[in-house]
Structure 1
Amino acid sequence: MFIDNTWLDIALRGVILSAAATIWIVMLIRINGLRSLSKMTNFDFVMTIALGSLLAGAAQASDWQGFGQAMVAMLGLFIVQYGTARLRKASDTVEAAMQNAPVFLMRDGQFLEDALRATRVARSDLVAKLREANVLDLKQVRAVVLETTGDVSVLHGDVLDEILVENVKRI
């Protein structure tokens, strides 16, 4: 692609290809929408990781063919994400097949030991998440949920609207 493999050539190639690939990703996000890099589902998380890997591959490409292949693969990821989002929205069966259910780790101030064991979440990690959420009294914890993305949501206060936990699984 460039003239030789001197350190200057390699550095310039890395900078130029990184910039071009980053601009390409930004354009794809603008077309596909902000949802593109959300972490709302496990599929979104995989998409973000794969996109980063493809960006690194594009930045290290030694020829136009390798660079182009990485750019087309990025486009393919966005197309697949768009299509799967449409399918999930249209069909509960597809939604159930693609998405794990969130799981209660705590409910009404009580640790759910079976759920902690089944999800392989250490009690000490859960306590750290409670501290992060500024929980001062376990009796105030209405629910702790391991979300489908692996995030932990801590719901605490005086009242919990059940709509917030209607699809959460109890183990």
Structure 2
Amino acid sequence: MFEITLSSFIRIVTVGFLAYVGLVFFLRISGKRTLTKLNAFDLVVTVALGSTLATVLLSKDNTLLEGLTAFALLIAMQYVMTFLAVRSKGFSKFVKSEPRLLYFNGTFLEDTMKKERINEVEILQAIRNQGKGSLEEVQAVVLETDGSMSVIQGEPGNTLANVKSKIDI
């Protein structure tokens, strides 16, 4: 349980260093968008990259070249998905969810909250996390495409233009 051989230690350090350098290289050439978390697919890629790195480090059954190939494949797929999403509204709708209005001008939007499986306590937590002590300070709360909640104070203006809602904003 607490044993490690010299050869496995050297393998972990060597493969770990080279896999890390390879991952950083792939991330640098692929651009900033690769590690953003703007939607569920982005999160999946980030988690998969971490899982792949761990597998390459700890599994003797996977070679460094296999790990680097997996990194390249994941990053290439991320690139293709975002490339298509930027150029095709239909594909973008398929890959990304729409932001949803959960709270607006003193009203919790119960139907949307049920559909998104969000309860009032979670909305209040998001409001507190923004340092707000009162609902009167908040005009809107939006469930974003990445699962985070945006809290808007003051008049929301055109920031709610693409937010799906059953009420007139």
TM-score, normalised via structure 1 length = 0.88
2:107 and 2:24 map into 1 onto residues whose CA distance is 44
- Over the matched positions of the two proteins, sequence identity in percent amounts to 32
In 2: Cα distance, 1:67 partner to 1:29 partner: 17
Secondary structure of 2:102's aligned partner: strand
CA distance in 2, matches of 1:89, 1:6: 48
Unaligned runs of 5+ in 1: none
1:15 counterpart = 2:10 = no
Number of positions where the alignment pairs a residue of Structure 1 with one of Structure 2: 164
CA drift of 1:6 comes to 5.3
Structure 1 residue 8: deviation in Å? 2.1
The aligned counterpart of 2:162 is 167
Aligned with 1:86 (options 80, 83, 86): 83
Aligned CA RMSD, in angstroms, stands at: 1.7
- Mapped partners of 2:25, 2:97: distance in 1: 30
2:22 maps to 1:44: no
TM-score by length of 2: 0.89
Aligned to 1:32: 30
Point out 4+ residue stretches in structure 1 off by more than 4 angstroms: none
Q: Using the TM superposition, give the Cα deviation of residue 125 of structure 1 relative to its aligned residue in structure 2, in angstroms.
A: 1.6
Shift of 1:87: 0.7
C-alpha contact 1:140 1:156 (8 A) present in aligned 2: yes
Please give the alpha-carbon distance, in whole angstroms, between the structure 2 residues aligned to 1:46 and 1:6: 32
In 2, Cα distance between the equivalents of 1:78 and 1:125? 33
Structure 2 match to 1:62: 60
